Every structure is written in structure tokens, then in C-alpha cells.
Homo-oligomer: A and B are copies of this chain.
């Protein structure tokens, strides 16, 4: 059934009935505003991220359920990058009146499930008609007063760290663009693949479709005061490191031999004749945390469970040059590239 058959207000009631009644908010969906009682003595974090059909995603390569998860996940990652705890979300959806209601159901199921994994309740939003599908999430989080980790605190001499391994999201996108699909937890490929490559493709596509917001890692770093500056890797390591350096008034040099590349990403990149390093540096959407710290590397490594890799990849330097990459052969090159919405 199409949305136009039930209209705006029945659709709002349908969405409201799909979501658990919020027990954290004083007032959820269905009024002029949502009402939330802030935790005493906490600072409030506010972020919003927009996904546009044909620009930030294509319906051919992502199901509405995964789109919902991703729309929530990219916002969760922004709260993680401040060291905060997410709390509540508003959802804005622009969709064609001719779209199927089941699409909306699946989208909100993804939003709800991804939010619930991190204690986030959906408490409001807005709907409008549009020929271009667009979904925007605004997330409210909290952090101990003065403890929010910004992009601007990096100082020369500190080390640059990242959580996890890079390149998987970009490798997954490459596989999707080559016609691979994830259906019922199985990979369908329009070409012959070995079992090991099939598994690698599956892992990278899952990573592309569902970011893993590093909420717990961000909390650990913020509460201990480890990170002097932090950002999540959404546009790509090269681009996001440049953002952090610009805000901090510093530069940086990272080492190729230190960059942890995801194994599955390497396998997929090689299959498609691409450089794994390029995917790691410029691919974007890995949603790992990049942070700077003056702490002893052993102390930082000891803060995380074995399952979470943290890697020092280079050093913060005085301002005055572009961020640079030291190649394995010792050659130093400028770090460039990354995603720009208006220059594709």
C-alpha cells in the first residue's frame, strides 16, 4: 500500500505505534515538541546527519532496514567522537507519496533497533513529501561537564591514534557497485567467487551498510582524559585528519606501515584491482575514532579489551605544512583526498 492511501496523520500514528513508548522522555511523538529532562550536571551534545538518495546512498544497494540502521549509526558515531552517551533522536523523513508504507516500516525498524542497541529512544521528528528520498536524524547525547572531546585540542608532539582497522566500508561499497548483494545474510555475486572472497565481501558490505559506532571506546577515552582531540572517520582518514589539524592549528605526519588495514578490505580491494591503502586513506565511512594523546602508548593499549584494536599511526606536528604520509620507502607525500558532497 502506498503512503498516499493513508495520508500523513495515519502514517504518524503508524510510526508512533511501531516504536516503544519512550520511558526516558517526558513526551514523545505526537505533540509540537518532544520534552526531555536533562540529567543534572551534564552537558548536552547535539548532532544531525542527513542522508540523501543518490548522493549518500542508493536504494539499489541498501535495504530500508539497513538505511534506518545507517542513518542512526552515523549520528551515534558523532556522539562517540565527543566521548558522549547518546540519549534520544528526532527523525526527519522526506519521501514520495507513492512510496510503499512497508518501506517506512522497515526504515523505522532499522532506526529503532540501531538506536535501542545504544539506549536511544526516538522521541519526535517531521515528515514531508518529496520526489527525492531524504532521511535526517538529530541525536541528543550527554557528557560529563567540560569533558566533551573536541577537534581542537591536538598539540605538537602528541601521537595520533585510531580505533579498529580501515578500508572495509569503502571495499564494501566497491563490491556493491560491482553488483554484489547481501540477501538473507548471504552474498550474491554476479561472478565466480571463492569461499574466502565471499566471506570477505560479506564482511565489507556489512560494514558499509552498518557502521559500528564506537560509543564505548569514546566514553573510555573521554572519561579517562586520554584524548586531547577526537573525530570520527566519516569522510576518510586523509580528510578527517586534515579537519582535526585545521581546528587544532597543527599539522600531522602519519606512517604508511602503521596504518591498520582491514584484512577483508585488502582481499576485496585486491580482487577489484584497487589499492587497499587508498581505501583506508580516502574511502570514508569506516566510522572509527581518530584521536590524539600525549599518554604512554602502553597505557592506552591497556585501556581497551583485546577485541578492540587501537593503533598509533603518526605524530602531531607544528602547523605550517599539509598533513603528510611517510611511505614504506621513506618518501614523504602530501595526504590528500576524501569525500566532498559538492565536488563529486
Contacts and interface: CB of A to CB of B under 8 A. Distances in A.
Interface of A: 3-4, 6-9, 11, 26-27, 30-38, 40, 42-52, 54-56, 77-79, 81-82, 84, 88, 90, 92, 94, 97, 123-132, 134, 136, 138, 140-141, 143, 145, 148, 150-152, 230-232, 243, 247, 340-344
B36 A44 contact: yes
Report the 9 A-B pairs with minimum CB-CB distance, sorted nearest first.
A132-B132, A32-B81, A38-B38, A33-B45, A33-B47, A32-B78, A97-B342, A138-B138, A36-B44
A97 B145 CA distance: 39
B49 A126 contact: yes
Contacts of A7: 340, 342-343
Q: How many copies does the complex hold?
A: 2
The binding surface of chain A is classed by DSSP as mixed
Contacts of A11: 342
Contacts of A92: 48, 50, 92, 136
Nearest to A36: B44
A341 B128 contact: yes
A75 B42 CA distance: 25
A126 B234 CA distance: 13
